[in-house]
Amino acid sequence: MDIAKLFSLEGRTALVTGGSRGIGKMIVEGLLSAGCRKVYISARKEDQIAAAVEHFGDRVVGIPMDISTVEGCKALAAAISEHEEKLDILVNNAGAAWGTDFDEFPEAGWDRAMDLNVKSPFFLTQALHQLLNNAASTEQPAKVINIGSIDGMRLNPWETYSYHASKAAILWLTKRMAARLIQDNIIVTAIAPGAFASDMNKAARDAGDAVAQSIPARRIGEAEDMAAAAIYLASRAGDYVIGETLTVDGGLVHADTRTSIAG
């Protein structure tokens, strides 16, 4: 058994949405380290894209795009098609959160989270279906990895109604997509991250030591933790894992015996 080959992504091409920062950037670093020849990243803000490309080098190509609409998903797929005839790995990572008191929660906050966290992964995968199909075979399936959250599996203390709903939805959408796309040798899975330092998780970013006290592993997640999960699912090592959600949270969901909600 060749362990290096088992986890290798040598020569593969990937797209990571929201890949310029946070969890997306951690995943990009992992895919590059595992051997991807090219990783495309997308985000709305051009300055963040430029900074990420400068950081990673010429194996990363940035495409500024708002994929919260179907038109944006199609435009991103078209842009990738101008450069590539096939796509081995798609990581649907771009996401949004919104927290407001129940009586004041706005339609905009509902639509923003649901559009980016649920609608976009579906329609971007649909738009890239042919490129994924072109890369897929029984011996080396193409991979789609949806980034959910443990907030789709448990409550957090905040009034993030659309975020909770959207992150629960993407985990079930992963299963439904997996059932269809495995027919084309495209494997769909999901990752449910816990506390990782990012602009979306400001508590972990700004008060990591305090947050760690409520986590069974007694620390917040590190870049290697997220990179390792993505490499596993994207590589040969994860070829027999289909429709599953890999929880990467230091034990909050499955190993916390306390009844109180972690902060």
Over residues 121-175, the pLDDT tens digits come to 999 999 999 999 999 999 999 999 999 999 999 998 899 999 999 999 999 999 9
pLDDT band at 205 (very low <50, low <70, confident <90, very high): low
Q: What is the pLDDT of residues 46-91, one digit of tens each?
A: 999 999 999 999 999 999 999 999 999 999 999 999 999 999 999 9
Tell which CATH architecture fits domain 3-248: 3-Layer(aba) Sandwich (3.40)
Which residues, 6 or more positions from 178, have their beta carbon under 8 angstroms from its beta carbon? 187, 188, 189, 242, 243
Task: Give the mean pLDDT of 200-215.
Answer: 73
- Within 10 angstroms of residue 205's Cβ, the number of other Cβ atoms is 16
Catalytic residue among 40, 161, 163, 232: 163
Domain ranges within the chain, ordered by starting residue = 3-248
- Which residue's entry shows tokens 């797209």? 15
pLDDT at 212: 85
259 has pLDDT over 60:
no
Mean pLDDT of all residues in the chain?
A: 94
Q: What is the pLDDT of residues 81-119, one digit of tens each?
A: 999 999 999 999 999 999 999 999 999 999 999 999 999
What letter does residue 80 receive in the DSSP assignment? H
Contact 194, 221 (CB under 8 A): yes
- Tell me whether residue 163 is one of the annotated catalytic residues: yes
194 has pLDDT over 70:
yes
- Which residues lie across from 43 on neighbouring strands? 64
Task: Give the mean pLDDT of 188-209.
Answer: 79
Angle at 162 between CA 129 and CA 90, to 5 degrees: 20
What letter does residue 189 receive in the DSSP assignment? E
Angstrom distances, CA of residue 117 to CA of 50, 58, 94, 121, 137: 24, 29, 7, 7, 28
Q: Where are the alpha helices (DSSP H) in the chain?
A: 3-6, 22-33, 46-56, 70-81, 107-114, 120-127, 129-135, 161-181, 202-206, 208-212, 223-234
pLDDT at 263: 40
Percent over 70 (pLDDT), the chain: 94
